[in-house]
Amino acid sequence: MALDFQVVATEDQARRGRVRTIHGEAETPCFMPVGSWGTVKGMTPEELRATGTQVVLANTYHLMLRPGSELIARLGGLHRFMAWDGPILTDSGGFQVYSLARLCRLEDEGVEFRSHLDGALLKLSPERAMAIQAELGSDIAMVLDDCPPLPSPASRLSEAVRRTVGWARRSRRAAAEGQAVFGIVQGGLDRELRRQCLEELVTISFDGYALGGLSVGESKEDRDALVAELAPELPGERPRYLMGVGTPEDLVESVAAGLDLFDCVIPTRNARNGQLFTSVGKLSIKNARYAEDPGPLDPACDCPVCRNYSRAYLRHLYLAGEILAPRLHTWHNLHYYQRLMRTMREAIEQGTFPQFRREFLSRPKENEA
């Protein structure tokens, strides 16, 4: 698939716009469901579109292991392979190397590790990560970064920033022509290291900038404080991306801080575990009080699940282990997340976002219905 496109975040009164690619425009703020293996679990592309999804995230690490980026390239690229005609962002695979693989060696040249699937010894360098993403044909490619867990000593955080910047330079040079590349700001909870990393990334000049290295062991309070402080410092003329976060409340607060793009496994993973998001808080469908409940999952929701199925039926499917249960739950949760993003876009355009934020954050977090 052709790669001749640009990513541009246009500004309006509230510093909002669109992320444009040859595969369409994504209005911001925008939530990207996680499709690590080239699929959002349980959802067809048509169903994803119906939820309001605009951009999908896929993962370099997983796809390089199975079925392999070379095979995907021979079959026409990831868009054709997964039958998704919208924009795709691919993570570099760095986070998965550190979290899933049996890491053998981390050095400035790259990482050497053993696959979590079969133990095969593999190497991933900035150049290789970009080459894989070029073979996949994604619209937006993330640089390979060094993502340390939290807490980590100051020396480890400093090393991660130095290595991340070095890898970012190499990634930029190795990027496929026309493929947008986002830099990733590391530095743990150290504000000065974060700013140092950002300043150096800006000199390289990327198409977008991401806050990475979060949700890796820090407290929610520390993460929220860091995001609120540093998000406005990301270049305002480019898309601002918060990686791997979060809950609906996280998204509202992050949009308030000025961020545009988000991804997280919460809506899909929680759906498979029977936890649903509603207009009046989270709901655990396995709760016995829903055994004879004829009402919809969320009376305020217009998704096909809420229009057609009762809480009692959804609980029955879940307890029976039926495949339909996680599919319907995922559909509803993604619809909820995308409706939340759409509501925030409308509130920003209408100048009512501060009021919306106050009212949303004052809602109960657990469903009491």
Give the residue numbers marked as catalytic. Answer: 91, 263
Q: How far apart are CA 273 and CA 312, in angstroms?
A: 16
Are 179 and 139 in contact by the 8 Å Cβ rule? The answer is: yes
Query: Token pair of 148, please?
Result: 């340390």
Are 268 and 33 in contact by the 8 Å Cβ rule? The answer is: yes
How far does the chain reach from its first CA to its final CA, in angstroms? 48
Q: How far apart are CA 85 and CA 303, in angstroms?
A: 22
C-beta contacts of 51-54 below 8 A and 24+ residues apart: 51/303, 51/331, 51/334, 51/335, 51/337, 51/338, 52/335, 52/338, 52/339, 52/341, 52/342, 53/86, 53/334, 53/338, 54/24, 54/25, 54/26, 54/27, 54/30, 54/86, 54/87
CA 321 remoteness from chain centre: 28
Under DSSP, the state recorded for 299 is T
Type and span of the H or E element at 95: helix 94-99
DSSP string, 183-223: EEE--TT-HHHHHHHHHHHHHH--SEEEE-S-SSS--HHHH
Q: What are phi and psi of 363, to 5 degrees?
A: -70, 155
Cα distances from 223 to residues 110, 213, 228, 249, in angstroms, run: 28, 10, 9, 13
Q: How far apart are CA 31 and CA 12, in angstroms?
A: 19
* Opening angle at CA 218, ends 216 and 222, nearest 5: 135
Are 198 and 234 in contact by the 8 Å Cβ rule? The answer is: yes
Q: How far apart are CA 206 and CA 239, in angstroms?
A: 10
